[in-house]
Amino acid sequence: MRVLSAVIFLAFATSAPAQWKPNFKIGQLELHPSYGLTTTYDDNIYLVPPDRADGTRVGGGVLGSWIIKNNLNLNLVLPVGDRHKFTGGYGVESQIYETQSKANNAINQSATAAYEFKGARTTAKAFDNYVNTQDPQFQPNNTVSGDLVA
């Protein structure tokens, strides 16, 4: 009965991601924090073909896993007069796998910065984006080994 209750709860919990997105203003500076939680089930996390009829496995075999993603973001908007606007943001996402978590869990980060100018005849925008992702299988401090890493 507990397993059935958990399956029903997770089915409803995974149907739509949870979002919390309030906005704050301090003078001209706008703060836009957000948080998102998503749970999904992937029945083939390594995208390998199914086992062959003779029992041979390719790529370590088909494995499924529940995946929980937490997204935390903070975006900033600072207009300076009618013509200039500065924007920036930082986000971090954690991915947590139920199956072989040491080989699959990851933390990804991103940062953005932009400047916009709107003149009478000219519009310009300068921006930069930075993304830092992890592949846990190839981290030097990770102790995971085997066919997956090889």
- Summarize pLDDT for 37-73 with one digit per residue, the tens: 999 999 988 888 888 888 788 777 888 999 999 999 9
- Residue 139: the pLDDT is 54
C-alpha count within 13 angstroms, C-beta hemisphere, residue 47: 0
Per the structure block, which two tokens stand in for 143?
Answer: 């102790």
For 123, residues 6+ apart whose C-beta sits below 8 A from its C-beta are: 116, 117
DSSP secondary structure letter of residue 51 = P
- Residue 150: the pLDDT is 45
Q: What is the pLDDT of residues 75-113, one digit of tens each?
A: 999 999 999 999 999 999 999 999 888 888 889 999 999
Mean pLDDT across the stretch 5-18? 51
- Residue 1: the pLDDT is 52
In this prediction, residue 20 has a pLDDT band, given cuts at 50, 70 and 90, of low
* Nearest Cα to Cα of residue 43 among 99, 104, 103: 99
DSSP secondary structure letter of residue 148 = T
Sign of the CA dihedral with 45 first, then 41, 131, and 146 last: negative
